[in-house]
Amino acid sequence: MKNPKAELLLVEDDQNLGFMLQDFLELEGYSVRWEKNGVAGLNAFRSRLFDLCILDVMLPLKDGFTLAGEIHQINPHVPFIFLTARALEMDRIRGLKLGADDYMTKPFSTEELKLRIGIILRRNGKSRDNEKNEVYSIGSVLFDFKNQLLRLHGEEKRLTKKEASLLRMLCQNSNELVRREQLLLKIWGSDDYFMGRSMDVYIAKLRSYLKDEPGVNIVNIHGSGFKLEIHKR
């Protein structure tokens, strides 16, 4: 599942990058307001409600750090991501102290940006999905996240909290790669070796629950992560 019409503010002065990101994110189902300098970005933020801000650090008229601070004064709860060509540790620390939810160094993968945006929106409760009735179809299996239930072939299987959270992230990105580190940080709070081994055990359990469902498979993409493949029959 994506976040249809979630409102994003993109402030990026690079014409080519800004156009490409706006086009890409709108194709992914987001509504994107693109501004090209810090002053215009602040005015745009004052004009409407946004679910997430994507801010370049090196902006004309008002830099991204200053803009983020002023946005935070207006709405301390809105999440934001910094985009920057600068990889200095002091810049990262400054950005995180300002409350940044993420910090991506150029060049970066648009697919990774998409994944990070989705995770931040869900984590901050900004997703436009209706989570009160969050039920996913996995082939003929129904997954009720709120009640941690799998309904398969007339039977119910109750999941643990971690099993449900893991399956939910895979369902929200069905037929797409979800990176190991994103799953680990979101669900286990750490991406170290031992947490990784624990996650592999949970993945194996989920595979066993879905093993009799035709056209459904949790695929291990070696060295990258997992993909919940759902093939329509």
pLDDT digits (tens, 9 = 90+) for 8-52: 999 999 999 999 999 999 888 898 999 999 999 999 988 777 889
Residue 76 has pLDDT above 60, yes or no: yes
Give the per-residue pLDDT at 155. 81
The percent of residues above 70 in pLDDT, for the chain, comes to 86
Q: What whole-number distance in Å separates Cα of residue 183 and Cα of residue 111? A: 15
Q: What whole-number distance in Å separates Cα of residue 170 and Cα of residue 1? A: 10
Residue 132 has pLDDT above 50, yes or no: no
Predicted TM-score of the model (pTM): 0.53
Hey, where are the domains in the chain? 7-123, 159-230
- The number of residues in the chain equals 233
Residue 128 has pLDDT above 60, yes or no: no
Rounded alpha-carbon distances, angstroms, from residue 116 to 29, 73, 119, 157? 15, 24, 5, 30
Under 8 Å CB-to-CB from 193, ≥6 apart: which residues?
none
Strand partners, 12: none
C-alpha atoms less than 13 angstroms from C-alpha of 44 in its C-beta half-sphere? 23
Query: Looking at residue 133, what DSSP letter applies?
Result: G
Structurally, what CATH architecture does the domain formed by 7-123 represent? 3-Layer(aba) Sandwich (3.40)
Q: What's the pLDDT tens digit per position in 162-179? A: 999 999 989 888 888 888
Q: What whole-number distance in Å separates Cα of residue 163 and Cα of residue 206? A: 7
CATH topology match: 7-123 vs 159-230: no
Give the per-residue pLDDT at 129. 45
Structurally, what CATH architecture does the domain formed by 159-230 represent? Orthogonal Bundle (1.10)
For the record, the structure tokens of 99 come out as 């409350």
Residue 91 has pLDDT above 70, yes or no: no
**30 and 165 Cβ atoms separated by less than 8 Å:** no
